[in-house]
Amino acid sequence: MSKHLQRDIENLKKQLLAMSAVVEESVHKATQAVMERNAPMAEEVIQGDIEVDQMEVDIEEECLKLLALYQPVAIDLRFIIAVLKINSDLERVGDLAVNIAERAAFLATQERICMPFDFEGMAEKAQGMLSRSIDALVNLDVRLAHRVRAEDDDVDAMNREMYAVMKEELARHPDRVNCLIHMLSIGRHLERIADHATNIAEDVVYLVEAEIVRHTPEVFKE
């Protein structure tokens, strides 16, 4: 690898990590806004989406520039391809954080009712997966990436349980339909965040081992 390519790849990594930090903070604030019924915090997340969108464009342009300028091969090529894909996943996570924040802003204007499902547990799990997937990227930690993939089954199970509970709640409390639908959407967005974290983990496996593990079941052993 040339010194120039090495320098530019390091800069690209810094850009991606900066974006991941902003996105993680957006998800954290969005879930806090739900729990605290904090409309101003929700609005911060919504307004911050412009920054995430610009970061995504900047990173994509940098990746395309490196591909054209250096025509990299082997692990350098895999790294740039992985960054392109992870960049897209992070942008989508940012969008999902905005969606959660919008639901939080609405719920903050309504009479308080208890969340019928384990929102805090689901939010903690999804945020943890996102954080660990980024850690796996930083440290090129394939074992941690496989752990994230395995954890997606837990979130999927929580999502199925949420749908069952919400179906019962909607039948029992038709007068609360608006709030319950917003809560259902929040749970669905958390499940999608976990999916994107899984995508990032799979890209880490591809980057390090040149193996595509998408669509293959994960069996993780501690």
Q: What is the reported pLDDT for 214?
A: 82
The conformation of residue 29, written as its DSSP 8-state character, comes to H
As a whole number of angstroms, the distance between CA 176 and CA 44 comes to 27
pTM of the model: 0.94
The conformation of residue 116, written as its DSSP 8-state character, comes to S
Task: Give CA separation, 214 vs 120, 149, 206, in Å.
Answer: 28, 10, 9
As a whole number of angstroms, the distance between CA 129 and CA 117 comes to 19
Instruction: Tell me the HSE value of 78 on the side-chain side, using a 13 A CA sphere.
Output: 15
Q: What values do phi and psi take at 186, rounded to 5?
A: -60, -45
Question: What is the pLDDT tens value at each position of the chain, 222 positions in all?
Answer: 588 899 999 999 999 999 999 999 999 999 999 999 999 999 999 999 999 999 999 999 999 999 999 999 988 999 999 999 999 999 999 999 999 999 999 999 998 888 888 999 999 999 999 999 999 998 999 999 999 999 999 999 999 999 999 999 999 988 999 999 999 999 999 999 999 999 999 999 999 998 888 877 776 655
Q: What is the reported pLDDT for 92?
A: 98
Place of tokens 């395309």: 64
Q: What is the reported pLDDT for 210?
A: 85
Residue 131 in tokens: 């954080």
Task: Give CA separation, 40 vs 30, 46, 74, 113, in Å.
Answer: 11, 10, 47, 20
Q: What is the reported pLDDT for 183?
A: 94
Q: What is the reported pLDDT for 63?
A: 97
Which domains are seen in the chain, by residue range? Answer: 3-209 (1.20.58.220)
Q: Is 123 exposed, middle or buried (0-12, 13-18, 19+ CB in 10 A)?
A: buried
